[in-house]
Amino acid sequence: MLNWKDEYNLGMLADFYEFTMANGYLEKNKEDIITYFDLYFRNVPDNGGFVILAGLEQLISYIENLKFSESDIEYFKSKNIFSEKFIDYLRDFKFEGDIWAMPEGSIAFPNEPLVTVRAPAVQAQLIETMALLCINHQTLIATKANRIVRAANGRAVMEFGARRAQGADAATLGARAAYVGGVIGSSNTLTDKIFNVPALGTMAHSWVMMFENEYEAFKAYAETFPDDTTLLVDTYNTLKEGVPNAIRVFNDVLKPLGKRPKGIRLDSGDIAYLSKQSRIMLDDAGYEDCKIVASSSLDEFKIKALINQGAKVDSFGVGERLITSKSSPVFGGVYKLVAIEKNNKIIPKIKISENVEKITTPGFKQIYRIYDNITKKAEADLVCLFDEEIDTTKPLEIFHPVHTWKRKVIENFSVKKLLLPIFKNGKLIYNPPTLDDITNYRKTELNSFWDEIKRFDYPHLYVVDLSLKLWNLKTDLLQNR
């Protein structure tokens, strides 16, 4: 019987049309035409104000290991539609292109290139699905996690969703993305082993039910983990049994050892009411430092409501609604051809649609983020052609790319290029940061934006404009089709 794991080559994780098109390019001698593709998105999940980019490390790993095995070659032969030229091409396949991308942890907005690929046509086409998969999934989860973290208003958030994720990779890479977004750790042990995302967790209700009674279960756990005792108190009756039994164990087991409990966890019921009553009981027993953790199908809106109700919760465990981004489960990133290169000349390409938002922005581009030198806050992003430079010594006029009468003159500003070189001629030239460096970068970037952009309801629309040169190029292409 074939072991599917032996055939699990990510090089084959591509839409079938990528291979048929690649075969066609080879047959028509177009394989060496240099192409430019932009990976970008059109709408922010949950009607939010921005997204947090994640997944670049996995895209890098994919590119570095991209190849086709003899088993893959035999598969394509078996389809009886692919040419010998294509088969031979795959045997010696190696990505030799250039890639630019925003670093992970970046704050990004609709219609900005997150990744730009410059490569021969076949190579650029074959990486489309995996490039989208890496960036779409983790950016979605990092963005959702950050919404939840911001809703918690300084209280710690833990990712608890592995068992509800859509598969093993979604659970593990989702937990990584959630850490980029701001959670303090995950219940997923594998994510700790691979990415050093702190593994967190204590007990399930089954632990309590395995013992003769709740007190004995709590006592056994405290004796086993006296330095890290957090007890799940809602298996039977939270206020009449769970919290009193927890306090009794703290007194009987931990106090004689000179230890203090870490916390109790509430996983059901009226969390606001139960947390308030539990806080009173713990404080009266002398355990003012014992934390209260809440879980139970939480998201940013439930957490915000709990805080508004005065819930005495110190941290939150969030599962399915985070790891699946349940309220907005699809990140609509797209991968579009924006230019080709002939005789060292870049020829812009544009896709036109009756749906205006699907009209692409042509050309090889760079993004400048504009900062006010006094407030240090980001004021706008300007999408330019790649060879454009911005003179920060002169006033800069920007304008809306559709409603062109909306204009703004910016003075006393500085700029930062957002797209960094990642691969050059197929060689990695970027030093991927550690996960902690990524989270610190995300914190710094987010602090550079006004709070109005971060609100959940009707966030302020951040300005993303086109340079005059790029706008003229796009307009000319639209008018001369």
190-234: per-residue pLDDT in tens? 999 999 999 998 899 999 999 999 999 999 999 999 999 999 999
Q: What is the pLDDT of residue 403?
A: 87
Q: Distance (Å, rounded) from C-alpha 368 to C-alpha 272?
A: 45
The answer on 166 and 121 residing in a single domain is: no
Give the pLDDT score at 418.
98
Instruction: Say what the pLDDT of residue 385 is.
Output: 98
Instruction: Note down the domain range covering 30.
Output: 4-141+329-361+419-459
Domain assignment present for residue 61? The answer is yes
Q: How confident is the model at residue 262 (pLDDT cuts 50, 70, 90)?
A: very high
Looking at the structure, tell me whether residues 175 and 309 fall in a common domain.
yes
Same domain, 305 and 446: no
Run of H or E including 185: strand 185-186
Residue 89 within any structural domain of the chain: yes
The enclosing H or E element of 60 equals helix 56-64
User: In terms of domains, do 93 and 206 share one?
Assistant: no
Is residue 396 included in any domain, yes or no?
Answer: no
Residues 180 and 283 in one domain: yes
Q: Are residues 77 and 208 in the same domain?
A: no
Q: For 233-244, how does the pLDDT look when each residue is reduced to its tens digit (9 = 90+)?
A: 999 999 999 999
Q: Say if residues 328 and 144 touch (Cβ distance below 8 Å).
A: yes
Where a domain ends, among 261, 293, 323? Answer: 323
> How confident is the prediction for the chain on average, in pLDDT?
96
Whether residue 69 lies inside any domain: the answer is yes
pLDDT confidence bin for 1, thresholds 50/70/90 = very low
The enclosing domain of 179 has a CATH number of: 3.20.20.70
Question: What does the buried/exposed string (b/e) look like for 205-239 if buried means 16 or more CB atoms within 10 Å of the residue's CB?
Answer: eebbeeeeebbebbbbbbeeeeeebbbbbbbeebb
Rounded to 5 degrees, what are φ and ψ at 37? -120, 140
Asked if residue 474 belongs to a domain, the reply is no
Q: Which residues of 142-160 are buried (b: 16+ CB within 10 A; e: fewer)?
A: bbbbbbbbbbbeebbbbbb
Q: Do residues 229 and 136 both lie within one domain?
A: no
Is the separation of the CB atoms in 187 and 158 below 8 Å? Answer: yes
Mean pLDDT of 423-452: 97
pLDDT (mean) for 257-279: 97
Counts of helices then strands in the chain (DSSP H, E): 18, 21
Q: How confident is the model at residue 7 (pLDDT cuts 50, 70, 90)?
A: confident
pLDDT, one tens digit per residue, over 325-335 is 999 999 999 99
Q: pLDDT > 90: what percent of the chain? A: 94
The reported pLDDT for the residue numbered 170 is 97
Of 275, 306, 323, which marks where a domain is finished?
A: 323
Q: Is residue 468 part of a domain?
A: no
Q: Is there a single domain that holds both residue 25 and residue 56? A: yes
Residue located via tokens 């020829």: 347
Closest by Cα among 420, 459, 431, 353 to 109: 459
| pLDDT above 90 for 4 | no
- The answer to whether position 397 is within a domain reads no
* Angle in degrees, CA 455, 457, 460, rounded to 5: 60
10-22 pLDDT per residue, tens: 999 999 999 999 9
Q: How many domains would you assign to the chain? A: 2
Neighbours of 478 (CB within 10 A): 12
Judgement on whether residues 254 and 345 belong to the same structural domain of the protein: no
Whether 443 has a pLDDT exceeding 70, the answer reads: yes
Residue 281 shares a structural domain with residue 354 = no
Q: Residues 152, 137: one domain?
A: no
47-72 pLDDT, tens digit each: 999 999 999 999 999 999 999 999 99
- 256 with 122, same domain? no
Cβ-proximal residues to 260 (8 Å cutoff; 6+ apart), any chain:
254, 287, 289, 290
Rounded to whole angstroms, the Cα distance separating 287 from 262 reads 10
Q: Is the pLDDT of residue 151 over 50?
A: yes
Residue 121 belongs to domain with CATH number = 3.20.140.10
- Please check whether residue 443 lies inside any domain of the structure: yes
